[in-house]
Homo-oligomer: A and B are copies of this chain.
Amino acid sequence: MSLNTFGHLFRVTTWGESHGPALGATVDGCPPGVPVDAAAIQHWLDRRKPGQSRFTTQRREPDEVEILSGVFEGQTTGTPIQLMIRNTDQRSRDYGDIAQAFRPGHADITYWQKYGIRDPRGGGRSSARETAARVAAGGVARAALGMLAPGVRITGYMVQMGPHAIDRDRFDRAEIETNPFWVPDAQAAAGWAVYLDDLRKSGNSVGAVVEVVAEGVPAGLGAPVYGKLDTDLAAAMMSINAVKGVEIGEGMAAAALTGTENADEIFMGGDGQPVFGSNHAGGILGGISTGQDIVVRFAVKPTSSILTPRRTITKSGAETEIVTKGRHDPCVGIRAVPVGEAMMACVLLDHLLLHRGQVGGAGGRIG
């Protein structure tokens, strides 16, 4: 993790601002021979694309990815892969009002305090648009995982919007792709639609919790003690715009458990592999994957660009009120779902390569 790059061996550098000519991801360290083309990456970008329902920003970006390097005749070559997305819908005039005043809860003020240079055209580098580049890179990671660890399956979904959490008893994976919230609970989806419509119309916004699960991850991934799998997942998720909390397995709730309750008991499975009686650990012990499902959750705060007037100051130090017009997401957590999936894919591939490099095939057998 270093400034605009993340990953140890599979290294992704994202670049670009919301209203510049383009943005993208420079992906270094992808193994050779991975089948990748623009269409495969576009598939994932389309999931994140704005304007797909009335619940996301009405900004319309085709978000078409162009592969500029690193792929030859549909296969990665082992050299850096440059993924570029042109910005096309750059109505900067929408932002004229906020060029001088800082939006409360937004990075406007900290970028100014840090750099002394402020690009008033939208959020610049701090815009959620940056995450399109992550999703593109995640598409490459998924393709590589498909080749190297074909059993891995990554699924993201929302489990809470505002105060409304899903009912785990109604959890139905088949629902995820059928509603605009990627929520695995049909009843929640219906209720959330009403709730968010109200919020949207009132010019307000709301937070959310996203859960990302990776099934089929081999045991042994993760490198103690600062390159732990959960350490890297926490960093990856916390680096997403607006994220304020990250949990693995039981997460914050682990604090309330006793050792007796928390211990995931171990048994032998029919295939000579260990089987766990529960998964409080979220698939990670000591920073290393156990072979169980990897379970990560993160909380996304509400968008700070809202229509309700808020008190703020200008660059010249005057106190004022601000209202952020423009086309914003009432619940930016919705579009964070494919971003969380992408980060999971990148981190898993990175640790798969690290493990292969540092340990080879020398893991311990049981039995």
Contacts and interface: CB of A to CB of B under 8 A. Distances in A.
Nearest to A242: B254
B117 A226 contact: no
A138 interface: no
A9 interface: yes
Contact of A21 (B66, B205, B223, B353): B66
Contact of A79 (B224, B272, B301): B224
Contact of A263 (B69, B104, B255): B104
Nearest to A125: B79
Interface of A, secondary structure class, is mixed
Contacts of A254: 207, 244-245, 299-302
Interface string A310-354: 111101111100000000000001000000000000000000011
A172 interface: no
Interface stretch (A53-61, A70-78, A177-185, A186-194): A70-78
Interface in A12-34: 13-17, 20-24, 26, 28-29, 31-33
Contact of A281 (B105, B162, B226, B255): B105
Copies of this chain, complex-wide, total 4
Contacts of A174: none
A265 B310 contact: yes
A86 to B, nearest CB: 9
Contacts of A224: 3-4, 79, 107, 111, 125-126
A14 B80 CA distance: 8
Interface in A243-274: 244-268, 272, 274
A211 to B, nearest CB: 12
A84 B22 CA distance: 11
Contacts of A249: 244
A262 B304 contact: yes
Contact of A107 (B17, B82, B288, B312): B288
A310 B263 contact: yes
A318 B366 CA distance: 9
Given A68-B16, A69-B20, A274-B313, A245 B248 contact: yes
B231 A1 contact: yes
Contacts of A75: 117
Contacts of A220: 110, 113-114
